[in-house]
Amino acid sequence: MRQLRKLPLKHALKILAALLLILGIALATAGCGGPEEEDPVAPPHEEDPAAEPGEGGGGQEPVDYEALGVNELGEIMVLMYHEIGEPEDEWVRTPDNFRKDLQELYEAGFRAVSMNDVLDGRIDIPAGTTPVVLTFDDGRAGQFRYIEKDGELVIDPDCAVAILEEFYEAHPDFGLAATFYLFFSGTPFGQPNLVQEKLNYLVERGFEIGNHTNSHPNLRSLSREAAIKDIALMVKNTQEYLPGYQVRSLALPLGAFPDDMSHIIAGEYEGISYHNEGILLVGANPAPSPFSRSFIPAKIPRIRASEMKTDGVGLYEWLQVLQDNLERRYISDGDPATVVVPEELRELVNEEALRGKELITY
């Protein structure tokens, strides 16, 4: 107080007032400190200009949308695989080439999400990364195979499921997701005595099963009644193995579809009803974001994950396009509760598709 006495009275009173104010704040903070209060030492966010300007919640690091090029209205590749095996062919990817695909995608900033994640707009991947959907048609043997090793059944390390698991173990941030579009007039994945075991395994590990009809017909030339029956029978067969399992999307056999898609989207046959929230085509470009007005759930394009006869629109051609044109890519803000898009794209947002998510433009 010796110093204070040397100050003019006006200044001394100001300092005293400031001290009383600080004391008052301290008392008030201490008095209302319930269990959910923030640390009383920390200043309130509004009064601290340095505190997390772009905060999305949970005290996470702020995301620099501009620097990362965040665009949740960008395009998403839905990759279409068939057989995994030897030798490489138009509809066959070798195990090593499939491993290469995963590695290339990973290094280029892609992260695996499932088809249902896209349909739900629930894309939960790190900030700055791009979702990719892996789909497998036909239930080919090389997608999921058990082999005998030392008298025990183990998953063939060269089948798609094992390769996905192996990659996930080495790169947990890639994610583990794929959708298998099955039909039941043949045995899904071969090995008739192991179908139950395989379907259980897929569901337990978070993989999805999609509808590829029951007998793989051409839906363009099939009658409406026959198509409804075939689509419903696939659901019936799936649910016989997996009671209550909801098959939510359909990959068109041969990519063929009728002009009127209504009975492909929803129908009922002998008490078995279905609703295909997404219908997947065969070609040949990335799909629009599910938050975009351009996204048509009944016509989701896929890209052939092949390096043969791709006509310039296969996985590697598109990968290059999306590397050269980052603004075309869906780039996540890392928060599945928000949809972040550049201001100039706001008009293209389908508000209905937000389903409660917060829209942020920048």
The site for Zn ion (CB under 5 A) is made up of 137-138, 253
Closer to Zn ion by Cβ: residue 171 or 216: 216
Tokens of 80: 């279409």
Alpha-carbon distance of 101 to 304, in angstroms, equals: 12
Min separation Cβ 253 and Zn ion, Å: 5
Which residues, including other chains, have CB under 8 Å from residue 202's CB and lie 6 or more apart? 144, 161, 180, 208, 209
Closer to Zn ion by Cβ: residue 83 or 138: 138
Min separation Cβ 323 and Zn ion, Å: 29
Min separation Cβ 216 and Zn ion, Å: 6
Cβ pair 56, 338 in contact under 8 A:
yes
Min separation Cβ 278 and Zn ion, Å: 16
Closer to Zn ion by Cβ: residue 228 or 250: 250
Min separation Cβ 161 and Zn ion, Å: 18
Closer to Zn ion by Cβ: residue 111 or 140: 140
Closer to Zn ion by Cβ: residue 140 or 145: 140
Alpha-carbon distance of 257 to 224, in angstroms, equals: 11
Alpha-carbon distance of 358 to 356, in angstroms, equals: 6
Min separation Cβ 107 and Zn ion, Å: 30
Min separation Cβ 316 and Zn ion, Å: 22
Closer to Zn ion by Cβ: residue 159 or 280: 280
Crossing angle of helices 195-204 and 224-241, in 10° steps, is 80
Cβ pair 219, 227 in contact under 8 A:
yes
Closer to Zn ion by Cβ: residue 215 or 285: 215
